[in-house]
């Protein structure tokens, strides 16, 4: 089991798209995948099921009003299961404020589960739900849209993840990689990619995700691009990204088991 959180506090950079299609890529490599939709906008839930508010959802898991199996749904894709998101997640920060272990609730809910990969989609914020996602994951993937790329924003995001790791007492969260999305093959695209490669040497995935309408169309049809258009540039890129992710984060074959690290 390997748990990966997809995070970037900017919206529209391809987080949800990457979660859905990376899940499909890993499923095609023979793995069981659990997608956790931690975004109140529930775009991943919609993309994978066509349904907007299945309940019980992650909200109920975090609030302790449902058990894991009650919040577990099948999806339109084989070998992919889902803990759905729903709109109530948007106000959960307030509701969890006075509850004990509020950043550890997702971790607790996942303990004992035996999917090969757990992929967690996050909202464009660093609130309690995203904190639950970062605590529950061993790795983070950060998607960066080449079209609206900002180095300053990236630095801030990476240092915020470091700060959060410190505050939350998690010392084993690592940056699995930065994946470039909305890539366009032109001079500007190549130049910007080159700058990123230099700055984040070794951290950038070799695969970049092209900007392509089939990706968006698949999303609207509640299918992964690997199902909808497997040989399109987007389908091929996400299949390749799955292979790279598998290489960097091998599934351990053991059940999910995470405990709070005691600080000396």
Task: Count other Cβ atoms within 10 Å, centred on residue 208.
Answer: 21
- Per DSSP, the three-state class of 80 is strand
Letters for 30-69 (x = contact with Mg ion by CB under 5 A, - = none) are -------------x--------------------------
Residue 78 or 216: the one with the smaller Cβ distance to ligand ADP is 216
Residue 1 or 118: the one with the smaller Cβ distance to ligand ADP is 118
Which of 249, 261, 256, 262 shows the shortest CA–CA distance to 109?
256
Residue 47 or 61: the one with the smaller Cβ distance to Mg ion is 47
How far apart are alpha carbons 188 and 182 in whole angstroms? 12
How far apart are alpha carbons 215 and 225 in whole angstroms? 6
Q: Binding Mg ion by CB under 5 A: which of 3, 15, 131, 224?
A: 15
Q: Which does 153 bind (CB under 5 to 8 A by kind): Mg ion, ligand ADP, none?
A: none
How far apart are alpha carbons 29 and 147 in whole angstroms? 30
State yes or no: residue 16 binds Mg ion (CB under 5 A): yes
State yes or no: residue 122 binds Mg ion (CB under 5 A): no
Residue 3 or 180: the one with the smaller Cβ distance to ligand ADP is 180
Minimum CB–partner distance for residue 231 and ligand ADP (Å): 16
State yes or no: residue 251 binds Mg ion (CB under 5 A): no
Applying CB under 5 A, the span of 13-21, 60-68, 91-99, 221-229 interacting with Mg ion comes to 13-21
- Per DSSP, the three-state class of 48 is helix
Residue 90 or 111: the one with the smaller Cβ distance to ligand ADP is 90
Q: Which does 13 bind (CB under 5 to 8 A by kind): Mg ion, ligand ADP, none?
A: ligand ADP
Minimum CB–partner distance for residue 216 and ligand ADP (Å): 4
Task: Count other Cβ atoms within 10 Å, centred on residue 235.
Answer: 23
Minimum CB–partner distance for residue 200 and ligand ADP (Å): 19
| Percentages of the chain per state (helix, strand, coil), in multiples of 5 | 45, 15, 40
Give the helix ranges, DSSP H, for the chain: 15-28, 43-49, 58-63, 92-96, 105-110, 128-136, 151-167, 187-199, 213-220, 225-228, 233-248
Which residues lie closer than 8 Å to 102 by C-beta, 6 or more apart?
Answer: 96, 128, 132
Rg (CA), the chain: 17
State yes or no: residue 75 binds Mg ion (CB under 5 A): no
Residue 16 or 132: the one with the smaller Cβ distance to Mg ion is 16
Residue 127 or 243: the one with the smaller Cβ distance to Mg ion is 127
Minimum CB–partner distance for residue 25 and ligand ADP (Å): 14
Interface contacts to ligand ADP, rule CB under 6 A: 11-17, 43, 181-182, 209, 211-212, 215-216, 219, 234
Minimum CB–partner distance for residue 80 and ligand ADP (Å): 16
CB 219 within 8 A of CB 6: no
Terminal-to-terminal C-alpha distance of the chain: 28
């Amino acid at each position: 089991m390997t748990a990966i959180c997809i995070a970037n506090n900017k919206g529209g950079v391809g987080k949800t798209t990457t979660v859905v299609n990376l899940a499909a890529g890993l499923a095609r490599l023979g793995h069981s995948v659990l997608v956790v939709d931690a975004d109140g906008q529930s775009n991943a839930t919609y993309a994978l099921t066509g349904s907007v508010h299945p309940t019980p959802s992650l909200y109920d898991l975090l609030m302790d009003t449902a058990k894991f199996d009650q919040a577990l749904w099948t999806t339109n894709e084989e070998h992919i299961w889902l803990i759905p998101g729903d709109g109530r997640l948007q106000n959960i920060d307030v509701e969890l404020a006075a509850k004990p272990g509020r950043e550890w609730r997702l971790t607790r809910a996942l303990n004992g589960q035996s999917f090969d990969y757990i992929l967690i989609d996050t909202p464009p914020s660093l609130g309690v739900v995203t904190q639950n996602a970062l605590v529950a994951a061993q790795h983070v993937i950060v998607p960066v849209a080449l079209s609206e790329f900002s180095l300053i924003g990236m630095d801030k995001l990476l240092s915020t993840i470091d700060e959060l790791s410190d505050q939350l007492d998690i010392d084993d969260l690592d940056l699995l990689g930065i994946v470039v999305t909305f890539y366009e093959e032109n001079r500007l695209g190549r130049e910007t990619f080159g700058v990123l490669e230099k700055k984040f040497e070794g951290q950038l995935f070799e695969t970049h995700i092209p900007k392509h309408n089939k990706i968006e169309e698949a999303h609207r049809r509640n299918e992964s691009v690997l199902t909808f258009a497997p040989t399109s540039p987007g389908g091929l890129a996400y299949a390749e990204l799955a292979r790279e992710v598998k290489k960097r984060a091998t599934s351990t074959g053991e059940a999910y088991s995470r405990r709070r690290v005691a600080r000396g």
